[in-house]
Amino acid sequence: MLKFILRRLGSSLIVLFGASILMFVLVINSGDPLFDLREITTGNRELLMQQRIDSMGLDLPWYERYWDWLSGVSQCFVGQCDFGVNRAGLPVNDLLALAAASTMRLVVLATVLAIIVGVAVGILTAIRQYSGLDYAVTFLIFLFYSLPVFWAAVLLKEYLAIGFNDWIATPSFSWTTIIITAVLAAVVIQTVLGGGLRRRLITAGVVLAFVIGTMFYMDASGFARNPELGPLPLIALGAATAVGATILFAGLHNRRVLAAGLITAGLGLVSYYVTWGLMDQPSWWLLVLLGLISVGVAIGVGQAVGGYSRSTASIVSVVTALVMGSLMILEQLFRYWPVYLGRISRPIGTIGSETPNFVGTFWEEFIDKGTQLLLPTILLTLVSVATYSRYTRSSMLEVSRQDYIRTARAKGLNERQVILKHAFRNSLIPITTIMAFDFAGLIGGAVITEQVFGWKGMGDLFQVGLRTVDPAPVMAFFLVTGTAAILFNLLADILYAVLDPRIRV
């Protein structure tokens, strides 16, 4: 394995070196870096042009300019990268750090959501092949995939930003809205869950009553502007998570796994009170530390209670702990939402990654950046979910026709075990390839999305550098994205052997 990794890295460095030369030559010959100065009519035009020629080395041959860039970049091997300065004299290192942080905040959440939703939808449509659900989901998936990004962004701005900001000023639900929402939810959920006619009618009735009651309560209590969660909904949702995860991973007949999940939910309720003071004004490092402690405790509970199913019990406990932790964070966001609305009357932003000059508490700034992140995250998720769902569906259908799947069913395994332990794991190889390419590509930034929503990320860094014929930021973009592509593809190759022991690198 080590020999394979070193050989791949060596060949990748040679490819990266050759591609960097080509990229550098293409950029410096893509236009005139003095174009904007040639059009000014002031008397110091020649001086300004000469200053730019000197600062960018425009009077040097291309190979000397490339060597200067390569000399700075080669210091990355000793941890002292120098990407040079851009046309305005600003260090590209600083610009790259800001752009990478902005882009990662934008695309990581969208990519994770797209993977989770896409894989789940792909499994569901593969199980329900050629059903009404399959056809409806396929239509919606291709519709989202075909949407022009800029047009979809305008629709999101109009309805989820401007429309919501107008509504939140005096929020209320009309009975027409309540009834339409409840009927749509009932139709969708009974279609997804399936079953016989009696089961579908019961599911639809329960969902209809639940949605009507919930929306009526939210309207009467002013939940939109003054939301609250509290310990009772917290433990109820935690217990529901434990039960659902047990059904998914083990089945309710496995009492040890269910007990591990419920114990974790109970410990989550205890931590709700114990950490209340810490959660009032935390830091990101504190949240990460608390999250790691929660995962560690959950694994310990699973190992102690799970018995022969301790690995499955640990998974269920970790899922329950993560959901409980997320709900505790949501509780704090609910507390500060009215405060934030008092300062920002139109909370859903459409331009930029945060409100300019906004300074507040940790949770207020969390809400501010989260609301700015909402629209581009939804857009990127809708566009990306199609790829994962279709690949998962086709891969699951191909695997489900294999002999070992028929053998597993013939041995008497229940359908949950056949799907999750046999079919899904063996269908992950093509999905792993897509994930590797997707993560590597998204690190380069979603250029159109960043431009529409005014995000200063990697895509913007590349676009500005190319427009101004400035090789320094473009080459920094190229080096980061190229390195990411190499590393993620190498990781995919290694994961192949983990997913399928028959594969050897």
pLDDT of residue 242: 95
Question: What average pLDDT does this structure show over 361-373?
Answer: 92
Is residue 49 domain-shared with residue 139, that is, in the same domain? no
6 or 366: which leads in pLDDT: 366
How is residue 46 written in tokens?
């020649």
Residues 230 and 99 in one domain: yes
- CB-based burial, 426-439: b 16+ in 10 Å, e otherwise: bbbbebbbbbbebb
Decide which of 82, 107, 122 is a domain's last residue.
Answer: 82
- Percent of the chain having pLDDT more than 90? 32
Q: In this structure, are residues 492 and 432 in contact, taking their beta carbons and an 8 Å threshold?
A: yes
pTM for the whole structure: 0.83
Q: Are residues 378 and 406 in the same domain?
A: yes
Asked whether the predicted pLDDT for residue 391 surpasses 80, the reply is: yes
Query: Residues 259, 298: one domain?
Result: yes
Mean pLDDT computed over 84-97: 87
Write out the residue range of the structural domain in which residue 45 sits. 31-82
Residues 163 and 234 both lie in one domain: yes
Q: Give the span between the Cα atoms of 292 and 286, in whole angstroms.
A: 10
Residue 297 pLDDT grade (very low, low, confident, very high; cuts 50, 70, 90): very high
Q: Across the strands, what pairs with 85?
A: 91
In a domain, 179, yes or no: no
pLDDT of residue 491: 80
pLDDT surpassing 80 at residue 42: no
Q: How many separate domains does the chain show?
A: 2
- Asked if 421 and 437 touch (Cβ cutoff 8 Å), the reply is no
Q: What are phi and psi for residue 357, nearest 5 degrees?
A: 60, 20
Q: What is the CA radius of gyration of the chain?
A: 27
- Least-confidence region, from 158-172, 182-196, 203-217, 360-374: 182-196
**Which residues lie closer than 8 Å to 137 by C-beta, 6 or more apart?**
121, 124, 125, 389
Residues 6+ apart with CB under 8 A from 31: 469
Residue 64 within a domain: yes
> Rounded CA gap, 237 and 231, in Å?
10
Q: What was the pLDDT predicted at 143?
A: 84
Q: Would you say residue 364 has pLDDT above 90?
A: yes
Domain assignment present for residue 189? The answer is: no
Average pLDDT over residues 277-305: 93
Write b or e for each residue in 338-353: b if 16 or more Cβ atoms lie within 10 A of its Cβ, otherwise e: eebbeebeebbbbeeb
Are residues 128 and 254 both part of a single domain? yes
- The band of 401, judged by pLDDT with boundaries at 50, 70 and 90, is confident
Report if residue 24 sits inside a domain. Answer: no
Q: What is the pLDDT of residue 449?
A: 82
DSSP string, 223-269: TTTS----HHHHHHHHHHHHHHHHHHHT-TT-HHHHHHHHHHHHHHH
